[in-house]
Structure 1
């Protein structure tokens, strides 16, 4: 950050701080703990002994009740409630979202700089595992007390592989007795979900909590079959030691989930001057309430790793997880405390989806497919089976199946804290050791496929020559070959992260200064095999006709991994306690993230498994960040408010291997080397006055991107300048609650630089409590049925008027009713 910028920012904060000295007397009237979570102890990526207002980091806590009122349409859309986190949130309940933070974009997919945790430990070590993004493995449910997020700062030193942010799902423990059971039903669409939780005391020193959900249905996009079929149970039991100096807690999780990921929908729009305007749904395929999931494509054949044809269900994203976690906390004296957090996880799953790629049918007719010239396309199944397909557009994207055979892990975080009175300040020293072993075992199957463009149970299409020879089978034109030989992939990888860390904190009544360092020592082992250029034909019999289908298997050269990288991350910050209701902080940090499986099959390894020169430098991506922050609370118009504002600046460089075709990799199989920088601000505000409650969050960034060899930075794709969420509700005595929320953003560009308009989606909630313990609810998502692409599109046909585009719109107007009984 330039000195002139620092002076300007400091001046702004000084003005705000000065204003806080002159705050009205009412700002001191009410107890501070009534204001908001500013007095909550920060437990995520921190020393776990300071409140939010006394912590020199950007941290936000969102309660479970607020999340339920907001009614996010996906796990990732929940993150839009957190300042600094930038995500479209339109990938659906299964996951597979691109999750950016603070203007640090996602180059090739996933959440490379954001770690998702459950009760203080990561669900997976890396946020952007190919076909294994971290939002697959975490589900918000009734057992979650709150979601806490730390951006920048100590996320780099009190967590691994999380230089951008740590988002932590914190569980109820049952220390406060109570719970509920709730039935949720879709209105106008087929979906049923049951949520439940209960916790309480077992005796004077033991308590427990158990809860979870069951969900089944066709979903709000009205698929023709059950795309959701999920169950998750989480439980914990805590024993407090008789001397009151600590506790031991055991946590258990079982999850067996099947949820769709929304693969997009076509749209119409005007493209001129590098901008898209007049966006409307595509006739016959409205992405607000329709999808590519079809009763006519509920299953398909793959050529599996054993060399056999196997029929697999079009099951979206499936996960199976079993974990046991143990937390130990003990205060040996007033000065010495030990904490240990350990988890073993057995986890696997699959990614099975019909990708969408719209092109002109005329481009297929007359082309050569599987050695024959295509003369016609015919419906492969359904009521029109055998009839000629006459649609102007055809979907030529893949039916993809990725078997996630094993993505289990073992993690342990041991910490020792010493706190000493130094006369002028309390001195706190921390030391710890984090260990995690992460398995990534997968095989990929990307079938080249043809289907009709429709949102109403689209059928697979078979291609025929003029002589009537069939070139495909059930719409499948090839096994494992949609993106060439890159993606007939099979691998078994193991990554081990050892990370000792130390920190020092000086704190008195006026100021606090802290610094911490983390030493990352990572080791990669295993092997990867991609396909070779040699194809062979597999006979497939469909409707009594045998067709030879081109097949690629993972039979290329075996790539061995046997290497390690060590690197250091650090952060330093200072906090000025202006008064009991105002604090200012400044912080600098350098975080890092290890580039794991996205390095493979890229030519970056020697025959012995070491990184070669081209792979050595980009194996770790470093993120530099600078922050200036304000936290303030007080009285306003008879109510209480809080404000958390952080001004920030950051930069990083990144190198990834992209196997598929993208705007940055038009031919597929590219190494993408890029540099990024961003500046902006995060804002989180709350206001409470009687029965009225308001929570608002906003993220403003100027994100820029440049090729690795360039000094010219251009606007980064996928990142709007401004994204925001506002939620307000009013409690009418104890009888009812009415609420309204909105989430929106300004314009953003896609990978090709085309700008899409920014829009807002409004949601509403009504809860009525006619008798004690009974609550009836009505929630609506996208109240005005807004067609909102959120900048994640692409041009399918520029020659048409209006142009045909592809992208993932937000869900349309969706009503859900609920009945809750509390006890």
Structure 2
């Protein structure tokens, strides 16, 4: 960061801090211990995520926010992405559905391909998967908010780089209830205008004076708010823990477990109409016969399909969205020795697998199919393959020509352990804390991909697969499938079994004075890669019930991995305690993240299993440099102010951070959506930079409470061969959420949550408008411990295309486009009994 820019930011932030500090200081004498009770944004909570675990939010020189379970539950999020939108700095569309597969950006640092490359999702301090952008295994598949969660804590930048691996952008930590205070609830919610039922439950409490437990989870079943043609949600998750304190509370040992078996849909978008003037897309509205607010292409006529499996046979598989099966158990140990020595150890073993089966959507023209050559013949007719119109010709002008994809996630299990030793020493008026830790995680990634060429009707109500015929009436496809495993060529018929072992020692030093705090930390990651990856070979014909269909299987290029990559991350920060209610901080950090499975089958692995260097290109099986892109480095600079105090008879907190960041990335993209010329399988090289600000604020006054956040960023991208930076696609300048509740004499609670964003552009530079979604709720309490509720998502049924897609037909009026709209108006009712 240039000194002039930094000075300007510092001056502006100091003025803002001073303005906030004046009322806070004036009212400090009126504060009572009760006022400082832990709650959303209280700033008095101890930060436990990606930190030293001994400072409050107010006195930590990092950007951190904590969202209570009650606030999240009042929002009734339809996916994990909507939970993440409540954390400032996190930028996610929230339209991928409850199964996951969201692209999670942070602080204007875009997602080049998919997943969340710079954001780590944790449960109780350990990652659910080591890498956030595993192909067909993004980290939001494996974590589901449930009743056992006490709060969700998000640390952005700063110490996320050095107290966690593979998380230079942010760490989002789901922190569990422990049962130290007895209580629980059972609740049932039911869709009023859609088919879905969910049961949430939790209970915990003391067993004796030193032992306590907690257990909870959920059951969920239904067709979902997009009215799928069959049951697409069928999930169960149970989590629990048991804690034993000893030695007068100086130590504890906690056992944790989770069992999950989930099936949830992944929404892949919908067609729409729009007016387009130059690069400006306006007046976006639903497509005739396919309203993406309430319909999807999960169809009763495509709820299973054939793949050519890794054993060389045709196999019928379910179109069951994103499925996960997980069993994990772990242990936490904490002990405070005499003399200021503390030891913490956090361990988890996870056995986990799953699958990804989805009908991807793309809007194409029917005319482009008629007359084309498919499987060696000219297409003369397109007919419905099933349903009431089976055998009839398909005459609609548009068609869905995207894939039926099935990925078997055979093993994505892991073992993780994080050991920390801390020593505190008083040095005059300051306290010095030194920490040393060792993190280890072994992440397995074993999958086989099956990406079928597919055609279906562009309809939102149980669309049929479409079969193709030549002029003589010969069938060219089977149940709408024109190729097995070959939609994007031989790039994507893959079979691999990989293992990545990350060993990361880390050190930190902190000087805490009454007036200031200075800290620095460093982390040394060493990732050992092993295993194999096999790509697709040449096409060959197979017989599919009398129709000859081309297929590809994983008998092509093989890579055997045997390399280690090391890199260093660091972070330094300083905090000025302007008063007991206000602090200002500055921080700089450099964090690395390892490019795991996306490095394979891209010509980056030598014949001996080592990473290719630039000098290897053209020999040893190398076609590209593998060393440089194997680690992405993110640099961030932050300047922040935190304050709390009294305002208009209530209590407020505010956290404001100015930020600047940049990174470069070279990563593999499997689909045609972002590859030049529409080719499947390409390497994307680009540089990114961003400046902006993030805000998190709360206000409580009597029965009224307000929690809000906003992230403003100017995100820019410089592609390979480009000489200048342009606006990055998929990142709105402003994204925000606000949740307000008012308790009416303990009889009822009226709530309103709003999520919104400003405009964003797609990869071709077309600009789409941003809108706000309003979600009111009402909870009434007819008797003690009983709660009846009604929640409405998108009460105005706004058509908000948050996941930008592409232009299907620019020449028509209106133009035909595609994208991912937010859910339409959905109403649910709930009953909950607290005990």
TM range (shorter): over 0.9
1:452 aligns with 2:463: no
- Structure 1 residues not aligned, in runs of 5+: none
Give me the whole-angstrom Cα distance separating, in 2, the residues matched to 1:621 and 1:154: 17
The counterpart of 2:641, out of the listed 630, 633, 646, is: 630
> Displacement, 1:379?
0.9
The counterpart of 1:683, out of the listed 679, 691, 695, is: 695
1:56 aligns with 2:61: yes
Secondary structure in 2 aligned to 1:480? coil
- Structure 2 residues not aligned, in runs of 5+: 614-624
Secondary structure in 1 aligned to 2:801? coil
CA contact (8 A) 2:95 2:803 kept: no
1:652 aligns with 2:657: no
1:556 aligns with 2:563: no
Structure 2 counterparts to residues 391-790 of structure 1, below 5 A = 391-532=396-537, 534-541=538-545, 546-613=546-613, 614-665=625-676, 666-790=678-802
- Using the TM superposition, name which of 388-397 and 148-157 deviates more: 388-397
Give me the whole-angstrom Cα distance separating, in 2, the residues matched to 1:726 and 1:243: 42
CA contact (8 A) 1:181 1:820 kept: yes
**In the alignment, which residue of structure 2 is the partner of 1:304?**
309
Give me the whole-angstrom Cα distance separating, in 1, the residues matched to 2:556 and 2:456: 30
CA contact (8 A) 1:503 1:516 kept: yes
Secondary structure in 2 aligned to 1:561? strand
> Displacement, 1:668?
2.5
Secondary structure in 2 aligned to 1:684? strand
Structure 2 counterparts to residues 201-240 of structure 1, below 5 A = 201-240=206-245
Give me the whole-angstrom Cα distance separating, in 2, the residues matched to 1:358 and 1:539: 29
> Displacement, 1:709?
4.3
Q: TM-score, normalised by structure 1?
A: 0.98
CA contact (8 A) 1:205 1:242 kept: no
CA contact (8 A) 2:226 2:295 kept: yes
Give me the whole-angstrom Cα distance separating, in 1, the residues matched to 2:487 and 2:28: 63
Give me the whole-angstrom Cα distance separating, in 1, the residues matched to 2:745 and 2:160: 41
> Displacement, 1:791?
4.9
1:155 aligns with 2:160: yes
1:28 aligns with 2:41: no
Secondary structure in 2 aligned to 1:778? strand
Give me the whole-angstrom Cα distance separating, in 2, the residues matched to 1:516 and 1:350: 38
CA contact (8 A) 1:748 1:791 kept: no
Aligned residues: 818
1:358 aligns with 2:363: yes
**In the alignment, which residue of structure 2 is the partner of 1:14?**
14
> Displacement, 1:84?
0.1
Give me the whole-angstrom Cα distance separating, in 2, the residues matched to 1:626 and 1:742: 30
**In the alignment, which residue of structure 2 is the partner of 1:288?**
293
- Using the TM superposition, name which of 655-664 and 115-124 deviates more: 655-664
1:139 aligns with 2:151: no
- Using the TM superposition, name which of 176-185 and 382-391 deviates more: 382-391
CA contact (8 A) 2:21 2:643 kept: no
The counterpart of 2:270, out of the listed 265, 268, 275, is: 265
Q: TM-score, normalised by structure 2?
A: 0.97
Give me the whole-angstrom Cα distance separating, in 2, the residues matched to 1:778 and 1:28: 41
Give me the whole-angstrom Cα distance separating, in 1, the residues matched to 2:708 and 2:60: 21
Secondary structure in 2 aligned to 1:23? helix
Secondary structure in 1 aligned to 2:510? strand
Give me the whole-angstrom Cα distance separating, in 1, the residues matched to 2:536 and 2:148: 44
**In the alignment, which residue of structure 1 is the partner of 2:620?**
none
> Displacement, 1:30?
2.1
**In the alignment, which residue of structure 1 is the partner of 2:378?**
373
Secondary structure in 1 aligned to 2:485? coil
1:348 aligns with 2:349: no
Give me the whole-angstrom Cα distance separating, in 2, the residues matched to 1:523 and 1:429: 28
CA contact (8 A) 1:342 1:411 kept: yes
CA contact (8 A) 1:379 1:386 kept: yes
Secondary structure in 2 aligned to 1:549? strand
Structure 2 counterparts to residues 117-132 of structure 1, below 5 A = 117-132=122-137
CA contact (8 A) 1:756 1:791 kept: no
Give me the whole-angstrom Cα distance separating, in 2, the residues matched to 1:409 and 1:711: 42
Give me the whole-angstrom Cα distance separating, in 2, the residues matched to 1:76 and 1:560: 35
Give me the whole-angstrom Cα distance separating, in 1, the residues matched to 2:15 and 2:269: 47
Secondary structure in 2 aligned to 1:662? coil
Structure 2 counterparts to residues 160-199 of structure 1, below 5 A = 160-199=165-204
> Displacement, 1:376?
0.5
Structure 2 counterparts to residues 48-87 of structure 1, below 5 A = 48-87=53-92
Give me the whole-angstrom Cα distance separating, in 2, the residues matched to 1:621 and 1:373: 47
Question: What are the Cα deviations for residues 397-439 of structure 1, in whole angstroms up to 9, with x where unaligned?
Answer: 1000000000000000000000010113100000000000000
> Displacement, 1:16?
2.5
Give me the whole-angstrom Cα distance separating, in 1, the residues matched to 2:338 and 2:437: 18
Structure 2 counterparts to residues 87-106 of structure 1, below 5 A = 87-106=92-111
> Displacement, 1:20?
4.1
> Displacement, 1:192?
0.3
Question: What are the Cα deviations for residues 319-365 of structure 1, in whole angstroms up to 9, with x where unaligned?
Answer: 00000010000011141000000000000000001010111111101
- Using the TM superposition, name which of 54-63 and 67-76 deviates more: 67-76
CA contact (8 A) 2:803 2:821 kept: no
> Displacement, 1:708?
4.1
CA contact (8 A) 2:128 2:143 kept: yes
**In the alignment, which residue of structure 2 is the partner of 1:383?**
388
Give me the whole-angstrom Cα distance separating, in 1, the residues matched to 2:155 and 2:635: 16
State the superposition RMSD in angstroms: 1.0
> Displacement, 1:493?
0.4
Secondary structure in 1 aligned to 2:571? strand
Give me the whole-angstrom Cα distance separating, in 2, the residues matched to 1:259 and 1:514: 43
Q: Which runs of 4+ in 1 moved over 6 A?
A: none
- Using the TM superposition, name which of 391-400 and 495-504 deviates more: 391-400
CA contact (8 A) 2:505 2:525 kept: yes
- Using the TM superposition, name which of 98-107 and 28-37 deviates more: 28-37
CA contact (8 A) 1:183 1:818 kept: yes
> Displacement, 1:243?
2.5
Give me the whole-angstrom Cα distance separating, in 1, the residues matched to 2:477 and 2:183: 58
CA contact (8 A) 2:488 2:679 kept: no
